[in-house]
Structure 1
Amino acid sequence: MRNLLTGLALFGLFAGPVVAQAQDNTDKSKFKQLQQELPTPNTYRTASGAPGHEYWQQRADYNIKVELDDKNQSIKGSENITYTNNSPDVLSYLWVQLDQNIFEPNSASNLTKTGQLNDKMSTQAVEYMTREKFDGGFKIDAVKDRSGKPLKHTINNTMMRIDLPTPLKPKQSVSFNIDWHHNINDQKALGGRSGYEYFPEDGNYLYEMAQWFPRMAVYDDVNGWQHKQFLGSGEFALPFGDYKVSITVPADHVVGATGELQNASQVLSSTHQKRWADAAKSDKPVVIVSQEEATKAEKNPTSAKKTWVFAAKNVRDFAWASSRKFIWDAMNVNVGGKNVLAMSYYPKEANPLWGQYSTEAVAHTLKVYSKHTIDYPYPVAISVHGPVGGMEYPMLSFNGYRPEADGTYSDRTKYGLISVIIHEVGHNFFPMIINSDERQWTWMDEGLNTFMQYLAEQEWERNYPSRRGEPANIVEYMKSAKNTQVPIMTNSESVLQFGNNAYGKPATALNVLRETVMGRELFDYAFKEYSNRWAFKHPMPADFFRTMEDASGVDLDWFWRGWFYTTDHTDVSIDDVKWYTVDSQNPEFVNAQLREQQNKAPKTLSEQRNLKDIPKTRLDNRPELKDFYNSYDPLATTAADQQRYQSFLKSLTPAEKKALDSGLNFYEVSFKNLGGLVMPLIVRMEFEDGSEEVVNIPAEIWRYNNEDITKVFITEKPVANFELDPYLQTADTELSNNFFPRRLAPSRFDIYKQQQREQQNPMQRERSANRNGNKNNSGQ
């Protein structure tokens, strides 16, 4: 609205743009390059972000035999590891991860847990604090060389050093054996990334087994040995290799695992083998082990045993699940011309939800992720339902969410299930294939994977209720207290607000890059390039940052610095708008405008009251007191005014005359960066006739001054109002200052009568209503 903006005359604007004064301290500039923060490129990792011509990585191949004790909830195993030294270094010892050791009562993980007592404590809390200590952790029975001779070894919490009698030279391999056993944790009671669930209704167990065997640590060109202790948050850095795993379980158990089943004819009936073969040709889920068959097995457990043998090539880990409760279904997915078997294992308690959605969600994930990264390279992809809410391993993931006992479920449960399956199956790409260092950089797998999860969710269903990915969803975290935040580039075990920091914020950052900073075409190409460069390798943050810039031609150092190295947030304010029009100097037009403004000017309170309280002035009563000035109109156009105007027109050049006749509007808009994070400016101008225009301005507009800038907008039509970030693209934490003139943001308060919490989900309410309706109809 014109009367809410400042009206001034301007003709000298055409002389050239005005540049805001640069900040004095360029060292603090948000656009300072990341040279000091990133490692120096070398022959292993190049300045472009690609692996160098001398890049190397180690290899670990496993042959494992393990037996499940279903009576005592424990496992016992032996493994042979062949470790190949592809580095240029001589190794005198090897490091092995013992992640189960976090369950030892005196582990660093347990000893460093914090807590507090309240005046009132629940019985469950007291029971948890006083329960008998779980006898967890690896019991290492033997560490021997290939000939059976004991190897000296030292256990340091969750790490074990094996001292080699002869140093391992470059290009050499060494084989050794480890015998071990450990108890399996009750996942519902103790938590953890694996464990068992007990079903008292039928007296059976369901096992999800991960971090269940001693595993080689990573030795690389960046860290040497990655042997940071496992405290529970930072996940796992592991080398690639081939696995052969023999799993002995009760004969009525169904086993799902990383890799391909090698002895189907020995562990599956002919009926199940046929269904399995049919599933491999079907584009819809085929039931291999039915709910009826699983329920029958629950009621008649056997003491006999079977050994399932699986083989997996070029994987970084191995996980498995076992239960007589398992229903099993599968379908074929064609990815890049290659057939992949998508499968699900779940107990009857998970139906009907799992039978309808699980395997379809697996297939969908493979399709979408392959489109944006690399074609899924493995032969199978599995979703298992059990006590673990969500955890990932090569070809196999553990996923939570189950319906109510009556088979109904809320929309939150439904979408929670689909989302967790997409997320955990998606981890096959990040970090199981694009194998980042999870122990150090959680965001490189969780953040990138959460971003891809968002893309896959949006391809599952229009307006899918994605929890993370949209910039608006991260606002509350971004504006939270600084002492509750740390930069994304923080070690995994030291991250505060883990879900927001390592999942939500990096996922949002990538979405902002894709939609607002780079555009989909440039982003998608660069992201796919990163995935292809580092598939089956060990990328670091610098490799990702550099590749995204190298493949797109976009300088993103300012973006990485702001989003990943600081806790700044987006809060940009439109502080002021000045409206300029070109003064035509036509006296008739100028005087008419001034008269209109004068007539529209509001009367003061005194003027309004005087009209009532002073019916006639002295001059009204004595007209003879009037003189020249009482009839003089300063806004009337005179002959002298016209002469001056015509003389002015003759003095103009053609370009100046064109500018004078343009009728354009000039708006000087002042922006203030209150949150510290420099971001592009997306400005919507709504014109007085109701039309609008959106202008996208790159973040580099802040390069001379990171805090205060002005920008001139030239329009043919007068602007009614300006709005920043109209599509909520930048995670701006304060929308009230995004408007000029300011708008009141409506809020509401609810008037309610306190009620008990709704106990039924919508599906149950509908069923109850239908039952009641049928009863009423039958009584009529």
Structure 2
Amino acid sequence: MRYFLFIFFSILLSVVNGQQNYWQQQVNYTINVQLDDVNNTLTGFEQMEYLNNSPDTLGFIYLHLWQNAYKNDRTTFSEQLLHSDRTDFYFSNDDKRGFINQLDIKVNNTPAVFETDSAHIDIIKLLLPTPLAPHSKAIISTPFFVKLPYNFSRGGHAGQSYQITQWYPKAALYDSHGWHPMPYTDQGEFYNDFGDYTVHIALPANYKVGATGLLLSREETTANVLPAAFDNNSNKIKKPFFPKKQVEETTVVASSRKLQTLTYTANNVTDFAWFADKRFIVKADTIQLASHTVKAFCYILPENAELYAHSMQFLKKAVHFYSNQFGDYPYPSVSVVSCPQELFRVTSMEYPMITLMCEETEMELDATIAHEVGHNWLQAILATNERDHAWMDEGFNTFIERKYRQRYYPIDETKAIKGVDFSGLNGAGAHFLLNNLIALHKDQPIDLTSKAYSFNNYGAIVYEKTADWLEQLEKEIGVDAMHRVMQLYFKNYGFKHPQPADLKQVAERVTGKDLSYQFNKIYQTGWLDSSTIKKTTQLKILIPGLDNKHHYINLSPIAGYNSYDKIMIGAVLHNYQLPLQKFQFLVAPLYATGSSKLNGAARIAVNRFTQKQWLETSLSAVSYSINQFETGNNKPLILGMQRIVPSVKLTIYNKDLREKDKWVLQARSFLLKEDLLDFTTITTPTDTFDVLDKKASAYLINQLAVGYENNRILYPYNARLIIDQGSKFIRVGFTGNYFFNYKNGEQGINARFFAGKFVYLTPKTFLSAYETGRYHLNLSAPKGNEDYTFSNYFIGRNEFEGFKSQQVMERDGFFKVGTDLLGNKIGKSDDWIMALNISGNIPDKYNPLSILPVAIPLKFFFDIGTYSEAWQDNAASGRFVYDAGLQLSLLKDGINIYFPLLYSKVYGDYYKSTLGDKRFWKTVSFNINLSALRPNNISRELPL
């Protein structure tokens, strides 16, 4: 018994001591700032009162200069946007970028020096002239100048609409774990000290402003009211004035222009943001809570007036709802600001007492107002470290937002299944993605640093899976207990910086249970509860099944076409869905109206997924017609083919899920049966005549392919080595592609290099050269009859005249011109070839098609190559041949039409001698690239 009491009091003492030893810094700010809406700049002066409540003596303080994140394309912010497949900032002009400078820092009136972080230009290390002892304070002051960027992320400007966030020099947070200097990023938010703010904002009088805190006063003047200086004697900011040095370095608003100075105060907040626009329609109201009255404001742009008609009602509902969940909203004001429509792509973002909304529908606006206002409890008051534990804000908030949605927009389970309804409001798109990531072993744990997440995982895990986990916890402990957990958590840790262990401690205190099993799930991948993933099998007709609750067998009509079968109609029965199943099948019989044949395709595959690998073993079969001949009896002779392909493919992914590179290794065999013409001479007593028939030819092609690709958004590249082997040859081809982005990132120049080698496995003779002719290397892009594995779609595979004969496929040298009617084609080799293909977008200002209402990208192409025979004596062409022209790309490069304008003399001579009149149109070629239509943005992380 005494032992038990000793343990009990030891634990109690440690808890008490832990509470007594808890400390956190406080940083108070007084800032004077003036907006120049001509040059989109801020000129300011800041006084920072830094209170060292820690037990440590500080020799330096880290400061965030987050506007420098927009200074160039070598910042962490720029690199992180590229990881998220965004290039808009990377390719932006200097006038859209921003920075902060003109710092002249003094500490307690003593000039101080600082060091710039070698890796991050938006972090500096302020060296204190005198070490800051525990329980003492330092007064840090500095002027600063900000060039506001275009709003690429959360803040900046769009024209003369201003979203002023992360705009002043800010102290990094110091806690028991040490300093937390962090560069600005778009993925991953903040970790700031609490403090009291007094902010004087000077700007033209015709602007309306919404800001953190309460507006104390507004004064109008015609004089420049620019940042004040620090009074060395009184340790206070003096009346505003404009230092001479800054007059010389800064373009200022004309002194005759009417200005206003707005003074705001905000106490016990972690940040200060403000928004200014001349067009704001301001709605004001009050929200009565049990403890106090809250002033409520909506700042609405005229272009969004209809959308925001009920915004005040939404705001009031949100404050009451979250107050009921956690406890009364403690601040004196709450505001919602609508962003310009050109910024709707920017994510809505919260700051203490104010949030910027960028939504497009009223239902989304209602739910998102609730979500963003809810961050006042979870981000502004329970100020967790969002870089290290983003889920403690975003995931917890999503959990509460779901309750809000269910109350005001309940899901009709008869019409929508969770994970299928892509309305946006119900978050089903992210939840659907989450289930796919988990099933394919591409998910990450809930508790990771923000920078560790891939783009898809950040939304799916931090928001959705965390909310699922909290719902599971609520189911285990009960709704009432969960409500008490949230209220006690907020009561105990409001205006502090809780850690994951603190939430666990509160939950266990309320429930009296050891919840380690549940809380350990935040460090694991995979399903939260494997019992919930048991699926039943259902048949879906016409519309494929999409949700994650069932294994679907889908049945729907399909159609196809080629020149010989004409229109083919049929049905496809398959179980393809997301996530990809371990066992997949597809059967698609097609009746051909032209050939009166039953064609079709079938495929089965077995998949094995791990986080780093995808192993697919498959068997496919296909049958269709490839040629036809007139027999003279009005019944054409149709030639067909059948192909069976066993395949093993291994995809190896980068262990860092943020990266887009992977290796692909594949071995497969093409078992082919092809109809050939069979001429038979029949002799009778009265006559001799030829009979045209067909005979089957069976052969085998083995293929080994090794590829590497990096589908990063900036300068993507890939390389692939393919070795084909037949009974009489080995064919080796290497292809490399590198894309040089320009403009908005989607446009650019692609460089393709090909090198190939052909080797005979039997002695080279005239007969063996003839028999292997279709497998020879070719500078010209192969036509349908050279597609010896039948892996590409051709409208008229064996046509030799008309537009169907002008279809080519991307392989070998990929020239857009050729000499198909020559016995020995120019550029064809049974030894080796090399080629370089360059193609690129023509910028809109030079593209005559840019005036059309539909965007049609016009490109140029240039091909140059050489081949073995060109280096022999008496060669048919020069050692290097070339072509160049214009390329019209449709359906995102799914269809490409090539117009040759320049080419080597040997091609020109051929055209003149063989094509006759109107030969320009006969030189035009086109390519159908079905693989270009795959959803590549998803396939960057998912195996599609």
TM over 0.5: yes
Equivalents in 2 of 1:745, 1:438: separation in Å?
Answer: 39
Q: Assess, with a 3 A threshold, how the Cα gap between structure 1 residues 81 and 452 changes in structure 2: closer, same or farther.
A: same
1:550 aligns with 2:504: no
2:462 aligned residue: 502
Structural mapping, 1:755-770, within 5 Å: none
Task: Tell me how far 1:463 sits from its aligned partner.
Answer: 3.9
Contact 1:145 1:151 in 2 (8 A): yes
1:341 aligns with 2:295: yes
Equivalents in 2 of 1:442, 1:469: separation in Å?
Answer: 21
Contact 2:96 2:150 in 1 (8 A): no
1:396 aligned residue: 354
1:179 aligned residue: 143
Amino acid corresponding to residue 469 of structure 2 in structure 1 = A
1:322 aligns with 2:276: yes
Q: Assess, with a 3 A threshold, how the Cα gap between structure 1 residues 228 and 127 changes in structure 2: closer, same or farther.
A: closer
1:536 aligns with 2:495: yes
Task: Tell me how far 1:132 sits from its aligned partner.
Answer: 4.6
1:243 aligns with 2:207: no
Amino acid corresponding to residue 78 of structure 1 in structure 2 = F
Q: What SS class does the counterpart of residue 507 from structure 2 fall into?
A: helix
Q: Assess, with a 3 A threshold, how the Cα gap between structure 1 residues 248 and 568 changes in structure 2: closer, same or farther.
A: same
1:143 aligns with 2:143: no
Q: Assess, with a 3 A threshold, how the Cα gap between structure 1 residues 304 and 453 changes in structure 2: closer, same or farther.
A: same
Equivalents in 1 of 2:49, 2:337: separation in Å?
Answer: 30
Q: What SS class does the counterpart of residue 100 from structure 1 fall into?
A: helix
Amino acid corresponding to residue 98 of structure 1 in structure 2 = L
Contact 1:104 1:134 in 2 (8 A): no
Structural mapping, 1:163-178, within 5 Å: 163-178=127-142
1:696 aligned residue: none
Contact 2:405 2:426 in 1 (8 A): no
1:211 aligns with 2:170: no
Contact 2:161 2:276 in 1 (8 A): yes
Amino acid corresponding to residue 460 of structure 2 in structure 1 = N
Structure 2 residue aligned with 1:415, among 363, 373, 385? Answer: 363
Structure 2 residue aligned with 1:352, among 296, 300, 306? Answer: 306
- Greater shift, 305-314 or 542-551, is seen at 542-551
Amino acid corresponding to residue 311 of structure 1 in structure 2 = T
Q: Assess, with a 3 A threshold, how the Cα gap between structure 1 residues 674 and 351 changes in structure 2: closer, same or farther.
A: closer
Equivalents in 1 of 2:34, 2:40: separation in Å?
Answer: 11
Q: Deviations over 1:136-167 (max 9, x none)?
A: 222142111232x3211112222121111111
1:254 aligned residue: 208
Equivalents in 1 of 2:45, 2:354: separation in Å?
Answer: 22
Q: Deviations over 1:209-249 (max 9, x none)?
A: 1001111111111x211113333322111111110000011
Equivalents in 1 of 2:509, 2:26: separation in Å?
Answer: 29
Q: Assess, with a 3 A threshold, how the Cα gap between structure 1 residues 340 and 127 changes in structure 2: closer, same or farther.
A: closer
1:371 aligns with 2:288: no
Equivalents in 2 of 1:53, 1:382: separation in Å?
Answer: 36
Equivalents in 2 of 1:179, 1:168: separation in Å?
Answer: 22
2:483 aligned residue: 524
Amino acid corresponding to residue 381 of structure 2 in structure 1 = I
Q: Deviations over 1:449-502 (max 9, x none)?
A: 111222223333444988587899735413425553211111111112211111
1:66 aligned residue: 33
Root-mean-square deviation (CA), in Å? 3.5
Structure 2 residue aligned with 1:109, among 45, 53, 77? Answer: 77
Q: Assess, with a 3 A threshold, how the Cα gap between structure 1 residues 469 and 546 changes in structure 2: closer, same or farther.
A: farther
TM-score, structure 1 length as denominator? 0.58
1:154 aligned residue: 115
Equivalents in 1 of 2:359, 2:265: separation in Å?
Answer: 29
Q: Assess, with a 3 A threshold, how the Cα gap between structure 1 residues 534 and 420 changes in structure 2: closer, same or farther.
A: same
Task: Tell me how far 1:328 sits from its aligned partner.
Answer: 0.2
Contact 2:43 2:145 in 1 (8 A): yes
Contact 2:433 2:460 in 1 (8 A): no
2:64 aligned residue: 97
Contact 2:504 2:519 in 1 (8 A): yes
Equivalents in 2 of 1:69, 1:396: separation in Å?
Answer: 23
Structure 1 residue aligned with 2:472, among 509, 512, 524? Answer: 512
Q: What SS class does the counterpart of residue 295 from structure 2 fall into?
A: strand
Amino acid corresponding to residue 275 of structure 2 in structure 1 = A
1:492 aligns with 2:450: yes
Indicate the structure with greater helix content: 1
Structural mapping, 1:603-618, within 5 Å: none
Contact 1:58 1:87 in 2 (8 A): yes
Q: Deviations over 1:655-705 (max 9, x none)?
A: xxxxxxxxxxxxxxxxxx989xxxxxxxxxxxxxxxxxxxxxxxxxxxxxx
Contact 1:47 1:546 in 2 (8 A): no
Q: What SS class does the counterpart of residue 432 from structure 1 fall into?
A: helix
Q: What SS class does the counterpart of residue 99 from structure 2 fall into?
A: coil
Equivalents in 2 of 1:459, 1:400: separation in Å?
Answer: 23
Structural mapping, 1:593-604, within 5 Å: none
2:155 aligned residue: 194
1:635 aligned residue: none
Equivalents in 1 of 2:134, 2:461: separation in Å?
Answer: 39
Contact 1:364 1:460 in 2 (8 A): no
Task: Tell me how far 1:416 sits from its aligned partner.
Answer: 1.4
- Greater shift, 106-115 or 334-343, is seen at 106-115
Q: Assess, with a 3 A threshold, how the Cα gap between structure 1 residues 78 and 749 changes in structure 2: closer, same or farther.
A: farther
2:376 aligned residue: 428
Q: What SS class does the counterpart of residue 532 from structure 1 fall into?
A: helix
1:446 aligned residue: 394
Q: Assess, with a 3 A threshold, how the Cα gap between structure 1 residues 335 and 746 changes in structure 2: closer, same or farther.
A: farther
Equivalents in 1 of 2:291, 2:80: separation in Å?
Answer: 50
- Any stretches of 5+ residues in structure 2 without a counterpart? 1-9, 222-255, 413-420, 538-545, 561-944
Equivalents in 1 of 2:557, 2:430: separation in Å?
Answer: 23
- Greater shift, 158-167 or 744-753, is seen at 744-753
Equivalents in 1 of 2:14, 2:59: separation in Å?
Answer: 29
Amino acid corresponding to residue 208 of structure 1 in structure 2 = Q
Equivalents in 2 of 1:475, 1:555: separation in Å?
Answer: 32
Q: Deviations over 1:541-597 (max 9, x none)?
A: 111122112212233222222244333454338xxxxxxxxxxxxxxxxxxxxxxxx
RCO higher in structure (CA 8 A, sep ≥6): 1
Contact 1:468 1:508 in 2 (8 A): no
Equivalents in 2 of 1:469, 1:512: separation in Å?
Answer: 18
Contact 1:43 1:54 in 2 (8 A): no
Equivalents in 1 of 2:13, 2:124: separation in Å?
Answer: 29
Contact 1:258 1:320 in 2 (8 A): yes
Equivalents in 2 of 1:527, 1:331: separation in Å?
Answer: 28
Contact 1:45 1:55 in 2 (8 A): no
2:733 aligned residue: none
Equivalents in 2 of 1:357, 1:142: separation in Å?
Answer: 47
Q: What SS class does the counterpart of residue 315 from structure 2 fall into?
A: helix
Amino acid corresponding to residue 65 of structure 1 in structure 2 = N
Q: Deviations over 1:595-622 (max 9, x none)?
A: xxxxxxxxxxxxxxxxxxxxxxxxxxxx
Q: What SS class does the counterpart of residue 181 from structure 2 fall into?
A: coil
Q: What SS class does the counterpart of residue 31 from structure 2 fall into?
A: strand
Task: Tell me how far 1:504 sits from its aligned partner.
Answer: 1.2
Equivalents in 1 of 2:132, 2:548: separation in Å?
Answer: 59
Q: Deviations over 1:372-426 (max 9, x none)?
A: 1121111100000113430111001100125xxxxxxxxxx11111122111111
